[in-house]
């Protein structure tokens, strides 16, 4: 995993993940798929983590599937390439909850129990865009080039893209980008809903945001992410109950009391581990 992703653990619980294949614009080869899956699984059960920042080293966030893989597809080995990424030859097999392994590369960030922020620069094409879409928040450089590029290779977005794009943009926008595969800028991504905000230095902005989140009650942050995830599939009645359950658990907890005391005393809070 270390050869494809560099980890930095900050003292306040912020975890920084950098895709570390700069010579290939951080393209997704089997080792990168494995590293992203391992990172998602490790962070999912890490009680010490408060926020996660994902970025790419070098000139790009992620250029999508490695070109050598497409060359093998052109030689008739598409099922082997995609099957290897998905953990087997049958893409319909569910290996990671509701996802296959290739889909989990993007969907894992929804299962990490704390906010995940993608700092996007250079390019985010195809699978690289889907990895970014899996994050809770995307901070994008204005001149970034993005594309739902799978149609160029005779494919469809298959790393969770259909689930993730429908949350962010109108159906006709998603259809146009999927059918054309055209490249659009970070500025347009903001207008369409794929970027949360623009920044000349997305990584610096993402880290600043992550450190700010790390200073909040970890119980409330995790409860908030659970509710926001539930909002995507629950009915209004179910979500109202979920709100009440989460709030009842927070009221009077050690970290909630500390938040109140710190605000009254006008000092930085000293939170413990999440309950």
Supply the pTM of this predicted model: 0.91
Q: How far apart are CA 250 and CA 35, in angstroms?
A: 34
Q: pLDDT tens, 13-36?
A: 999 999 999 999 999 999 999 999
| pLDDT given for residue 91 in this prediction | 83
Averaged pLDDT, 204-229: 97
- Residue 86 pLDDT class (50, 70, 90 cuts): very low
- Residue 76 pLDDT class (50, 70, 90 cuts): very low
- Residue 69 pLDDT class (50, 70, 90 cuts): low
Structure tokens at 77: 């080995």
Structure tokens at 181: 């595969």
Q: How far apart are CA 200 and CA 78, in angstroms?
A: 38
Backbone angles phi, psi at 171, to 5 degrees: -60, -40
């Amino acid at each position: 995993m270390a050869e494809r992703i560099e980890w930095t653990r900050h003292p306040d619980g912020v975890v920084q993940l950098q895709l570390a294949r700069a010579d290939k614009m951080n393209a997704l080869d089997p080792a990168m798929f494995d590293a992203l899956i391992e990172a998602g699984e490790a962070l999912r059960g890490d009680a010490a983590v408060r926020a996660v920042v994902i970025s790419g080293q070098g000139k790009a966030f992620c250029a999508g599937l490695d070109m050598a893989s497409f060359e093998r597809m052109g030689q008739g080995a598409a099922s082997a390439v995609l099957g290897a990424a998905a953990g087997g030859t049958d893409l319909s097999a569910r290996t990671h909850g509701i996802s296959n392994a290739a889909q989990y590369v993007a969907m894992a960030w929804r299962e990490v129990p704390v906010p995940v922020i993608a700092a996007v620069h250079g390019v985010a094409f195809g699978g690289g865009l889907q990895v970014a879409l899996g994050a809770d928040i995307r901070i994008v450089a204005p001149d970034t080039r993005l594309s739902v590029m799978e149609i160029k290779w005779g494919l469809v977005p298959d790393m969770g893209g259909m689930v993730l794009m429908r949350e962010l943009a109108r159906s006709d926008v998603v259809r146009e980008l999927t059918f054309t595969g055209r490249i659009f800028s970070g500025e347009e991504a903001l207008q369409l809903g794929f970027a949360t905000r623009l920044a000349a230095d997305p990584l610096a902005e993402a880290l600043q945001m992550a450190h700010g989140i790390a200073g909040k009650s970890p119980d409330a942050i995790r409860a908030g992410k659970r509710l926001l995830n539930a909002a995507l599939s629950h009915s209004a009645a179910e979500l109202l109950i979920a709100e009440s359950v989460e709030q009842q658990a927070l009221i009077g907890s050690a970290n909630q009391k500390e938040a109140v005391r710190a605000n009254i005393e006008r000092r930085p809070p000293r939170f413990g581990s999440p309950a």
